[in-house]
Every structure is written in structure tokens, then in C-alpha cells.
Structure 1
Amino acid sequence: MDNLEKNLIIYDERESLNEKIIEREIEQFKLIQNFIKSQMKEGEDYGKIPGSPKPSLFKPGAEKLCNLYGFTINVDILEKVENWKEGFFYYLCKCSLRSKKTGEIISEGLGSCNSKETKFARQNPYTIVNTILKMAKKRALIDATLSATRTSGIFTQDIEDMEEMLITDENVEVKEEKVDYATQNQKNYIAKLAKDKNINDEG
């Protein structure tokens, strides 16, 4: 009987603990939503993308969220290709978010960018090397931020730099073009002109 009572107490404590965690998560989510509405600006910190159900998080918005949570931002280059002869450049970066209080790494994110991406197709690769590196760092930051702040349900990865979005055939409205064929009178007139100018089907 004593063992049964102990088990029931442990079970009740676990239920109580779970309820507290759920309540805390709900309250935290509400606070984040209020912060986004009151402190973050659409078009500057985030933006709505046609065809996407969630707004896209931009770099300034990610930095605001990191500051709110008390994170320090550190970005390292993991891999890089700088082929000056062929004009190809590639960077893979890792962003680490640390707690300012404890120094503990809370989240890490990866981001890459290269000069063969569609947006750079018509640009001189030698003049955008720094831009490519910055974009890789930005993507890593946003990846880490969405994970650390648990806002991936609110925002999606930053796609503000995309020039075009892929859409499915279901979203494409295909309109059948109306073709106006020549009337019989018009055909007769054309045939008469051809005869007068000695034009035949063989050219």
C-alpha cells in the first residue's frame, strides 16, 4: 500500500509539472506574439511572401529576437571555395547563439550561399564575393534564431533575397487563346491578290 501511495504521489507530481510546462510554453508564446506586434515592423524585420502561409524573418528581426532572449551571436565559416580563376565562390557558415548569462550554446544554425545561384546569374561574380559571404552568414543566423526562439511556427526562413518563387501547376491559371480564323470572303480576297501578283503555293 505504501509503495502504491508513493507511486501515486510521483504520478501526480509529474502531471503537475507537465501542466506547468505547458502553461509556461503557452504564456511564452503569447509574449512573443505581443513582442512581434509591438516591437517588430513588417517590411523591416519580417515580410509577407506571396504564396507562403507564414511571413519571412529578416536579419534585423532575427537580431531583435536574439537581443530579447539575451543571446550573443557568433558566426564561423565552416567551408569556403574561392576560385578566382573560374569565378566561383561558395561559403558555408555556422551561427552559434549563446546565453549572455551562462555562456551556454543555446542553438546553432547553418547557412550557405554560392555565386551560381539564380539571383547572381547576370552579375560579375568577382564583385559580389562579400555579398555572398554576408548572405551565408545571414541564413545561418536566421536558422539558429528560429530554432532557439521556437518561432518557426510564426516565421519561415528568410527568402527576401529570392528573385522568384516556384509555384505548382495548380496555382497557374491557363487561359486558352482565342484564334480568329479568316472568313471565306477574306480567303477569296487573299487568293485574288496572290493570283494578281503571280504567287503560288510553291513560292
Structure 2
Amino acid sequence: MNAVVEVETVSMVPARSANPTAEVVAHAKTVQQVMQAVMKPNVHYGAIPGAGEKPTLLKSGAEVLCMTFRIADKYEVTDLSSNGVIRYRVNCVGEHQTTGIPLGSGLGECSTDEEKYRWRKAVCKEEFDITPETHRRLKFGRKQGGHYTVQQVRTEPADLANTVLKMACKRAKIAMVLNVTAASDMFSQDLEDLDAELVKHLAEDERQTQIQMIRDEWIAKVAAAKTRDEVGAIMKEGVKVFQSSRDKDGYSVFATAVQKRGAELKESENA
């Protein structure tokens, strides 16, 4: 059974008070209570390398604070698109849900010219090869022990119009919530590095690159084997590696290479 969590409510509507300091303290206390009792790490807030010690407020966390302080969000969108680039600037205004009194605002902007929206991973080598040189590139990334490359091609800006509009709104809303709730001392501005689609895209790119490197490494070991006993030892070690990486397709290719090399060595021994 879930326990009932009591959170002290504080009005966001400006009011004349004999003790404004007490109101500020009560307000900050409410934000802390919400963070401790309601918010969850990596759901409502998260830690991003290089973003400082303060946790980063995520969109779901901003929505929790809006519900707590009864903040309604309104959006004013300015279309700054030009020359084939989709670009939106959004002003998010926070109003008190009951009275409609404006509490504050926050600006957010997003464009298809940002690197993460301008490029995507090529579907296959053929797509990369037939794409004009001005619309393709090799992206280099760091990984433990070296680097990796990803073949990328330019995206179609029109296909991302809705995505960048939503991102601009997201940035504006989080900026507004931080401004209105004065929670900047507890949270930093949301960074889009944690955007779900982007994280998935980058993770898949890196995983595929690493998987291919593992495949190439173990197939090269098989090809270099001088005896069937050596092939057997490589097979035994390789099985563990492919099981660990959960690469069924890679294991299938590896097993085929082992069988082929074993047959070649057997034939040479019998010759």
C-alpha cells in the first residue's frame, strides 16, 4: 500500500504579507519536499556530465512543479524559419490556474540547423555512397580505448518541423518553471542531451559500431588460426564474448567463420 505524502502547499499568487521572508522560505521548502517525496531520479530530474553538481530538471519534473503550484502554461510561438531551416522561438507564460494572474515566463528556441537535427545515421553504405558529398559526412566519436566513426547524411528539415517545435516548447516551459518557482538553486536548465530519441539514436550508433569492431576482431582471430586446436580455443573464448554482447547475428557470422576455417585446416592436414 502506498503511503500518503503530505506536501505543504504555497500559493504562487503575489500577495501582500507582513512577513515576505517567511513566504520565500515556505516556498523553497515546498520545492524541496516535492523533490524528495514525489520526484524520482532519471524520471523527473537527472545528472548530466559537465552540467555541474545540481541535478537537471526534466520535462516530467517541470510538470510536477506546475501541478504543485497550480501553474498553467501558455505558449507564444514565433516562426523564424528561412532558407530551408526550420526554426522556432517560443515564449512560455506561466499563469495561476485559478486566477489567471501571470507569474512569469521563459524563452526557448530550437532549429533544424542544430547538429543533432541536421544529421542522421545513413541507413546503409549504399545510401551514404549515393548521397552528394556536401550532404554526407563521417562523424567521429570517442570511446574507451580509441574512437569510432559513423556515416551520416543530411536530414530533411521539413520532416523535423514538429520535433523542433516540441523541443522549443519544452525548453521554454522548463525555463519558465525555473523562473516562476525560483528553483534554479536546486535545478539546472534541462539539457537536450537527455532527450529520449537523441539518446536512443546515439546509443544505437555507438553500439552498432562497437559490435562491428568485435565481429571484425574475432573473425580476424579465426582467420589467423594455424591449427584446429587453436580454432577450438578461439571458439570457446569467442562464444563468451558474443553472449556478453548479446549479438546473435554476430555469433552466427563468427560460428560460420570457425566452421569454414576448421574445414580448411582439416583439409590441409589430410593433404
**Shared fold (TM-score greater than 0.5)?**
yes
Q: 1:145 aligns with which of 174, 177, 187?
A: 177
1:10 is aligned to none
CA-based RMSD: 2.1
Q: Which runs of 5 or more residues in structure 1 are unaligned?
A: 1-15, 165-203
Identical counterparts, % of pairs: 34
Listed as ranges, the matches of 1:1-203 within 5 Å are 17=18, 20-51=19-50, 52-81=52-81, 83=82, 86-123=83-120, 124=155, 125-161=157-193
Q: Tell me the SS of whatever aligns to 2:86.
A: strand
* Contact 1:56 1:160 (8 Å CA) reproduced: no
TM normalised by structure 1 equals: 0.65
How many Å separate the matches in 1 of 2:177 and 2:165? 19
What is the number of equivalent residue pairs in this alignment? 144
| Equivalent residue number for residue 193 of structure 1 | none
Q: Which residues of structure 2 form unaligned runs of 5+? A: 1-16, 121-154, 200-271
Which residue does 1:167 correspond to in 2?
Answer: none
**1:157 deviation in Å?**
0.9
Tell me how far 1:73 sits from its aligned partner. 1.1
Query: Following TM superposition, by how much is the alpha carbon of 1:79 offset from its aligned partner in structure 2, in angstroms?
Result: 3.2
Asked if the contact 1:58/1:160 (under 8 Å) is kept, the reply is no
Contact between 1:92 and 1:111, CA under 8 Å: does it hold in 2? yes
Deviation at 1:148, TM superposition (A): 0.5
- Greater C-alpha radius of gyration: 1
- In the superposition, the TM-score normalised over structure 2's length comes to 0.50
Residue 141 of structure 2 corresponds to: none
Q: Which amino acid in structure 1 is aligned with residue 39 of structure 2?
A: M
